[in-house]
Amino acid sequence: MKGTRPSTAQRLLTHAILIILAIPFLLPLIWMLSTSLKEDAQIFPREGQTASPFAIDNLIPSPVAWHNYSDALVEVPFLTYLGNTAVLCVLNVVCAVLSSAVVAYGFARLRFRFREPLFVLLLMTMALPAQVTMIPQFLLFRELGWYGTFLPLIIPSCFGVPLFIFLMRQFFLTIPEEMIESARLEGASEWQVFRQLVLPLSIPVLATCALFQFLGTWNDFVGPLIYLNDPNRYTLAYGLQQFLSEYGGRWSHLMAASAMFIAPVLVLFFLTQRTFIQGIATTGSKG
């Protein structure tokens, strides 16, 4: 919180500014929703129409084609894709967040030789474009016998994700050294310090990284497609592509499917945003 509550004038001003800024953010999405509820034939301009369907006064579809949503669900094996995606997401989030936290703690609070050069190396690995390591990595996975399985899509995140390591390290650095020292002096092992002191204090950054990893895996399209050959293992992102065919796409269904694709993440974010953004739990008095 920013101290005392803002005055009514400040509140109204904030609302006004936010609403104005929200319009360009929302408009494409409102349009997407509106398209998802239109019949295919209604989406594009017809001759003799005075108003282009892309104009504002045509945002409300009529008739409202609710069946687009049920049609989209039936057109692809939705539950299969959902199941595969959920499993991949959960596993990736757990592995990525935990492993990154461990590594980040090492870089943040432990001193060892070559710590700085190694950290710079970590950052540099983010800079190389993925396209070029794609083939050697693919060959590596193939040699290991993992081609055709979920493993190439999960195992790499068990070894830490550089982005999260960087972010968490920055966060861990802000935890007072005195606290950690006093815990060590009280006889706690480094692992206990990490698990019982640092981790609980870092819920916001852990949750943020979990969110980003979840999003990354939820939206990942190329990964499953390259490593998997059984359509029963494909994910929702692949399912979304199914609405595009050699002819272009069933746009109304694609928009409906996309809306459904976004919905769970949206709800998740809305319900849990306090966790990332809260900062430290303000139990107890202010210092």
Partner 1 sequence: MSEDPFYDERSSRDSHTVRLAYVRLDERRTPPFMPWLLRGLAALTLIAAITWFALPAPMQRQFPERLPVRLWHQWTGERQPLIDAIVAAFNRSQERYEVIALAVPAVVSDQKLMLAIAGGEPPDVMTQWSPTVGSWAADGLLQPLEDLLSAEDHRVLREDGYPVALKGAQCHGHLYGIPIGMNNFACYFRPDLVRAAGLDPDHFPESLEELVAWGRKLDRVDAQGRLERVGFLPSRLAVFAPLFGGGFKERPDGGITIDNEENRRALTFIGEVYRHYGYERMIQFRASLNSGSLAVEWPFVSGLYPISVDGQWRVEQLANYAPEVEYRTAPLPPPKGGRVNAGFATVNLAFIPVGAKERHGAMAFMRFWSGLQDPAIAGTFNASGGWLPPLRTTVESPDFQAFLKKNPQFRTFITAVDGPDVEPVPPVAYQVFFTSRAWQAEDRVVRGDKSAEQALKDLEAEVERERGRRSRLSRPGSPRSGAINGVAP
Partner 2 sequence: MRRDRLGYLFISPWLIGFAVFTALPFIASVCLSFTHYTVASSPTWVGLANYQTLLFDDPSFWTAIWNTLVYALVAVPLGVAAAFVLALLLNVEVRGIGVYRTIFFLPHIVPVVASSVVFMWVLNPQIGLANSILRLVGIDGPAWLQDPSWSMTTLIMLSLWGIGGSVVIYLAGLKDVPQSLYEAARIDGANVVQRAIHITMPMMTPVIFFNLVMGIIHAFQYFTQAYILTSGGPQESTLFLALYLFFRAWRYLDLGYASALAWIMFVLVASITYGLFKTHKRWVHYE
**Residues in 241-270 at the binding interface with partner 2, rule: CB under 8 A:** 241, 244, 249, 251, 254-255, 258, 261-262, 265-266, 269-270
Q: If contact means CB under 5 to 8 A according to the sort of partner, which of partner 1, partner 2, none does residue 6 touch?
A: partner 2
Binding partner 2 (rule: CB under 8 A), the pick from 70, 137, 196, 229 is 137
Touching partner 1, residues 65-94 (CB under 8 A): 75, 87, 91, 94
Binding of residue 123 to partner 1 (CB under 8 A): no
Burial class (CB in 10 A: 0-12, 13-18, 19+), 265: middle
Binding partner 1 (rule: CB under 8 A), the pick from 67, 146, 215, 260 is 146
Q: d(Cα 76, Cα 185) in Å, to the nearest integer? A: 59
Strand partners, 248: 245
**C-beta of 233 vs 236, nearer to partner 1:** 233
Binding of residue 135 to partner 2 (CB under 8 A): yes
Binding partner 2 (rule: CB under 8 A), the pick from 47, 50, 79, 112 is 112
Window contacting partner 2 (CB under 8 A); options: 63-71, 76-84, 178-186, 217-225: 217-225
How far is Cα of residue 178 from the mean position of the Cα atoms in its chain?
34
Q: If contact means CB under 5 to 8 A according to the sort of partner, which of partner 1, partner 2, none does residue 167 touch?
A: partner 2
Burial class (CB in 10 A: 0-12, 13-18, 19+), 113: exposed
Q: If contact means CB under 5 to 8 A according to the sort of partner, which of partner 2, partner 1, none does residue 231 touch?
A: partner 1
Binding partner 1 (rule: CB under 8 A), the pick from 10, 70, 196, 278 is 196
Binding of residue 128 to partner 2 (CB under 8 A): yes
Binding of residue 222 to partner 1 (CB under 8 A): yes
Write out the DSSP string of 118-161: HHHHHHHHHHS-HHHHHHHHHHHHHHTT-TTSSHHHHGGGGG--
Strand partners, 244: 249
- Closest C-alpha among 25, 37, 26, 27 to residue 257: 37
Touching partner 1, residues 230-269 (CB under 8 A): 230-233, 238, 241-251
Binding of residue 57 to partner 1 (CB under 8 A): no
Touching partner 1, residues 149-178 (CB under 8 A): 149-151, 154-155, 169-170, 173-178
Provide the 3-class DSSP secondary structure of residue 180.
helix
Query: Which residue stretches of the chain are H helix?
Result: 8-36, 67-75, 78-109, 115-127, 130-143, 151-154, 162-172, 177-185, 190-192, 199-201, 203-219, 222-227, 236-241, 251-277
Binding of residue 286 to partner 2 (CB under 8 A): yes
Q: d(Cα 107, Cα 117) in Å, to the nearest integer? A: 11
The DSSP output letter for 195 is I
| Residue 73: CB minimum distance to partner 1, A | 15
Amino acid identity, position 258? S
| Residue 25: CB minimum distance to partner 1, A | 23
Binding of residue 40 to partner 1 (CB under 8 A): yes
